A and B are shown apart, each in its own frame.
Chain A
Amino acid sequence: MTTGKILIAAALLASAAWPQREPIAPFELPQTAPRVSPIDDLVFDKLAASGKKPNYLVSDEVYARRVAFDLTGTLPTAAEMRAFLADRSTNKRARLVDRLLASDPYASYFTMKWCDLLRVKSEFPINLWPNAVQAYQRFIYASIKTNLPFDRFSRALLTTSGGNFLDPAANFYRAVQKKEPYNIAQAVALTFMGARFEAWPAAKQAGLAAFFSKVAYKSTLEWKEEIVFFDPDLPAFTNERGQPIDAVFPDGARAALDPAVDPRKTFADWLLRPENPYFGKAIANRVWYWMMGRGIVHEPDDFRDGNPPQNAALLAWLEGALASNGYDLKALMRLIAASGTYQQSSIPLAVSWSNDLNFSRYLPRRLEAEVLIDAICQLTGTSESYSSPIPEPFTFIPPSSRSVDLADGSINSAFTEMFGRPARDTGTEAERNNTPNAEQKIHLLNSSHILDKFKQARNFRRAIAQAKDPEKSVDEVYLWVLSRAPTEAERQAALAYSKVNRAEPWIDLAWSLVNANEFQFKH
């Protein structure tokens, strides 16, 4: 029997043996996720081919929380949830997505993601230095805030010449571990093609590196100012035997370079032409990975022949949709968020489907380090303190600033490090580690850092105190922490607890809910 036949047989067995699971309140609605988008045709048809069917549709509460974390990295407030849940209009999910995409936290959150990928940090091994970090991060923020089309954003990064303070996109060429053609080419392949340069054959590496062999750097009288520019007079790019290396596009076509034209521009023209097979797929796949928790090509930055897409037609459709809307990433996110596929429950429909890779559910992920601590700070009305003693004068981040807004990867806290904030050394998605471990659990359950936040929590305490009766208090705690009302069983459990533990029952409840998976995971 071929592998394919075995898989089909296994799928048939699974579907035959598996009894219908009831929807689970308060997470799921008693209806299957709808087929509302071409995305769903491509995903659900593939599921059907392996004997599976789409999952349950998530409840409004789960959806609101999911899009809030996926699009803004921010816990919805109790007031926002009240308004959303009270809204009776049929298109309220789409309107919520529009509101989130237009918000400042959307720009902050995706600035954080791009700063990870572009290695925005002051110190070793990237060494952008603080002023350039600020300028670069603000450029990224402004680009995302104004929804600069992704092809134009990419062109700016790839072709800008100028000073690291005044022309901040030029920092792309400084944010590498070594400012030389191979390292730059590696960053370019990773960032814009989702490809691992280091796994390429040597000739292909050299061919791409050649496009960056005329990038030159010079310092100015201003401290740590550096100018990135095209220097046609740099010595010819050669191999170790002194033979010249030609610029060759990653698809194998040789580039005809005009010595007077910056070869970075030639490369950008090739990369950003509509029929380029690398660029659109890489970014469409990345956005899908961000929202669904798994790339269609996975890892999302490991495009290569041996790692084919899980659903090639789906990736092609997303790529086409992105190209036809002018590389508007918000529009792509809107499409995905509106799909039935995205609105599926994260709980597998059958135990045997829990490892299904065909998007039969939304994959739960622990909140990113910065998002998690921001959510806890938001609940408790507290803040984190960040500073950097290098270089003088020291950098102090104002307490009003959120952790998601940290511009500099070199400015960290024990918390963000412990919870897997990336070091911003490589620009790979895998540098961020969202896997829970015991050290993190100990910290969340019992560290003075977290417990002290619950001791403050002034607004939270006031909101609970204003509730008319204990039942309302329970409801309020649930809305604040889990963005939903408790089930009747949960309400009774909390009330029973409050009768025995009279000291601070609602703080204890809030602490318990913060430590629950439901709080710590996007789901």
Chain B
Amino acid sequence: MKPRNILRDADALSRREILRLMAIGALTVSALPARAEKTPSGKGTARSVIQIWLSGGPTHLDTFDPKPEAGTEYMGPLRAIPTNVDGVQIGELLPLLAKQADKYSLLRGMTHGNNGHETAAYMVQTGWTPGGTLVHPCLSAVLTQRLIAAGSYKGLIPPYLVLTQPQGRFSEAGFLGQRCKPFATGGDPSQARFTVEGVVSKDLTPERQEARKTLLGQVDALAQAGATMPELAPAAASEREAWELILGPAGKVFDLGQEAKELRDKYGMNPFGQSCLAARRLVESGVPYITINFGGWDHHKQIFPALRQKLPQLDRGVASLLEDLASRGLLESTVVWVGGEFGRTPKVQPEAPWNGGRHHFGQAFSHLVAGGGFRGGSVIGATDKTGDTVKDRPIYPWDLIGSIYERLGLSPEATVPHPSGYAVRVLPPMEAKTPTGGRLKELV
């Protein structure tokens, strides 16, 4: 028997095969997770990830991969502008990011060829192609599982946090289940009070909270009478933790009022800008994975007026975040990852009902990565002169996610346990037929 092959293909094994293999001793449940990982864990320098998820599929031509030579048929009314890195241009609606280009790298070779929101979002965030028997977890959920299993994350704030609403498209945790799902804050960080679900109540003043807490302490008769009941111990411990977050110092991480007004304005006083600021505060307090869901990029119709609304928010938020992280020495340990599930058709559709729209485009799109050991100031991959195909250095979702795993010190060949007891690789094995451009060695 070759246990390694079994492990590699655990996903594809049928239940019966697993049972049979277990029965003949080829496969034991306890032996599975103990698999040695090839990449030494000391290699990664990233401690946190801020994922800015632009769901809906933002256009690549109007953001990170402009094609000024292609003309208005492709560019519409928008131009390209130079950045602070020689020879690198981005869309004109991103002037602040243009000044920070040395801090990030643009991945212009992103491709997977799928034009469905759900499937593409699944591919880009899990690194898997759907179709097997498993629903795989996102990178974020994998990281959460590893932290929980290792017992290495001790913070009161959940390790995987979403600002502010979870994405509806698919279950981020896949087969890993509830424990690896994100904690979604809810609320709006640009309001006077950022009412983080469960932490900051929208109705109760801190004084009333204190009074109620005292009352609860007085009336929990069973807790008092039953102090000797071991079954109640987890309840008592978790109640202490909960109050620390609600009324103690731990919850203050969400109090953006503690930041200078100038800095808040710089990030932009809108939900996205203030989410970026909240993300920085969370990274500072040691939260390993923060996703900012910034949706609304599915611009089939009248894309340019919409972009004039949205891109300045993206520009301010991300540029300020990068600058702020860098000035605090946090960028080296924090991966910032910006992108959506696909790009949009390079050729603008001018006629009704689209009136200047762009449609789903999985063949070529762009992402931005910065920090956590990814070098800035580079462009990886290139599309042709109209942005229709990747002509140089393709980057598939598994290439990108594998690279982020490596930045986090996690081998792309590592496994996570399926609830049924067998181990599943965090990324699909690279086979001869798997299209790949390789990991982002250029940026390391």
Contact = CB atoms under 8 A, between A and B. Distances in A.
Interface of A: 24, 26-27, 124-125, 177-178, 180-183, 186, 197-198, 201-202, 205, 240, 346-348, 351, 354-355, 363-366, 417-418, 420, 423, 425-426, 435-443, 445-448, 451, 455, 487, 490, 493-494, 497, 500-501, 503, 508-509, 511-513, 515-518, 520-521, 523
Contacts of A442: 198-199, 242, 245-246
15 contacts: A183-B16, A198-B19, A201-B23, A355-B230, A366-B235, A418-B178, A425-B419, A445-B239, A490-B221, A497-B218, A503-B208, A512-B215, A515-B216, A516-B222, A520-B235
* Interface SS, B side: helix
Contact of B203 (A27, A363, A455, A500): A455
A347 B212 contact: no
B219 A447 contact: no
Nearest to A240: B20
A345 B322 CA distance: 60
Interface string B223-254: 10110111110111111011101100000000
Contact of A516 (B201, B208, B219): B219
Given A508-B211, A509-B215, A513-B219, A523 B226 contact: yes
A435 B178 CA distance: 14
A346 B216 CA distance: 21
A382 to B, nearest CB: 16
B327 interface: no
Size bracket of the B interface:
35 or more
A438 B240 CA distance: 8
Given A180-B16, A441-B239, A523-B226, A518 B221 contact: yes
Interface of B: 14-16, 19-20, 22-24, 133, 135, 156, 158, 177-178, 181, 183, 186, 195, 197-199, 201-204, 208-209, 211-212, 215-216, 218-223, 225-226, 228-232, 234-239, 241-243, 245-246, 419-421
Interface centre among B158, B215, B230 (most CB of A within 10 A): B215
Nearest to A449: B197
A423 B238 contact: no
Nearest to B207: A501
A517 B222 contact: yes
Contacts of A26: 221
Given A180-B16, A425-B419, A448-B197, A493 B135 contact: no
Nearest to A443: B198
B15 A512 contact: no
Given A366-B235, A500-B211, A441 B242 contact: yes
B16 A178 contact: yes
A348 B211 contact: no
B434 to A, nearest CB: 24
A497 B16 contact: no
A512 B239 CA distance: 13
A408 to B, nearest CB: 16
Given A202-B23, A205-B23, A436-B234, A178 B14 contact: yes
B133 A125 contact: yes
B208 to A, nearest CB: 7
Given A182-B16, A511-B212, A516-B216, A521 B242 contact: no
Nearest to A202: B23
A94 B320 CA distance: 70
9 closest Cβ pairs, A-B complex? A202-B23, A441-B242, A518-B222, A438-B241, A442-B198, A516-B220, A438-B238, A512-B216, A436-B235
Contacts of B243: 445
Contacts of A186: 19
A436 B230 CA distance: 12
Given A426-B419, A442-B198, A446-B201, A517 B183 contact: no
B178 A417 contact: yes
A444 to B, nearest CB: 8
B225 A27 contact: yes
Contacts of A523: 222, 226
Contact of B228 (A181, A351, A509): A351
Contacts of B420: 177, 425-426
Contact of B241 (A202, A240, A441, A516): A441
Contact of B231 (A24, A418, A447, A521): A521
Given A198-B22, A364-B229, A517-B232, A437 B238 contact: yes
Nearest to A514: B216
With most chain B CB atoms within 10 A of its CB, the pick from A124, A438, A501, A503 is A438
Given A27-B225, A513-B219, 17 more contacts: A180-B16, A183-B15, A197-B19, A198-B19, A205-B23, A436-B234, A441-B235, A442-B199, A442-B242, A442-B246, A445-B243, A446-B246, A448-B186, A490-B219, A511-B212, A515-B216, A517-B223
Contact of A487 (B23, B177, B221, B222): B221
Contacts of A513: 219
A182 B15 contact: yes
A490 B14 CA distance: 59
Contacts of B204: 446, 451
Contact of B198 (A348, A417, A446): A446
A354 B226 CA distance: 10
Contacts of A521: 222, 231-232, 235
Contact of A501 (B22, B156, B197, B211): B211
A186 B14 CA distance: 14
A365 B241 CA distance: 20
Contacts of B203: 451, 455
A517 B16 contact: no
Nearest to A186: B19
Contacts of A516: 216, 219-223
A509 B238 contact: no
Nearest to B25: A202
A108 B75 CA distance: 61
Nearest to A203: B23
B23 A509 contact: no
A517 B235 contact: yes
Contacts of A182: 15-16, 19-20
